[in-house]
């Protein structure tokens, strides 16, 4: 039986993640408050950020930027796309 959470992004009950997707307290907060669907949305947005900004995820500055954007996307006002980003048609 899958666990459900009241997802802070979707604003409804939805299937939760199987384990914390990120280390530390932030990962636990995500595990307790973010659904699988919302996490998938973040992963897609994160991929776009990595590609558009040409980030290297092992770079500490890039990791810090992505962590800040993840918090904004999941718990804050949302993570904006780059000004010149155009989604694929």
Q: Over 80: is that where the pLDDT of 80 sits?
A: no
Hunting for tokens 């939805």 — which residue is that?
Answer: 14
Number of domains in the chain: 1
Q: For the chain, what is the mean pLDDT?
A: 92
Q: Is residue 51 part of a domain?
A: yes
Q: How many Cα atoms sit within 13 Å of 27 on the Cβ side? A: 7
Q: Is residue 25 part of a domain?
A: yes
How high is the pLDDT of residue 12?
Answer: 97
Q: Which domain holds residue 8?
A: 4-75
**Phi–psi pair at 5, nearest 5 degrees:** -135, 155
Q: Is residue 50 part of a domain?
A: yes
- pLDDT grade for 89, boundaries at 50, 70 and 90: confident
Residue 16's domain is classified under what CATH number?
Answer: 1.10.3880.10
pTM of the predicted structure, to 2 decimals = 0.88
Q: Is residue 86 part of a domain?
A: no
Judge contact between 13 and 79, C-beta under 8 A.
Answer: no
| CA pair distance 75, 70, nearest whole angstrom | 8
């Amino acid at each position: 039986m899958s666990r459900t959470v009241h997802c802070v992004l979707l604003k409804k009950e939805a299937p939760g993640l199987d384990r914390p997707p990120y280390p530390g307290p932030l990962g636990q907060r995500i595990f307790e408050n973010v659904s699988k669907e919302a996490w998938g949305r973040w992963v897609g947005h994160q991929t776009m950020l990595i590609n558009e900004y040409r980030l290297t995820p092992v770079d500490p500055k890039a990791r810090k930027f992505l962590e800040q954007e993840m918090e904004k996307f999941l718990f804050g006002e949302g993570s904006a796309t780059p000004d010149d980003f155009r989604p694929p048609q």
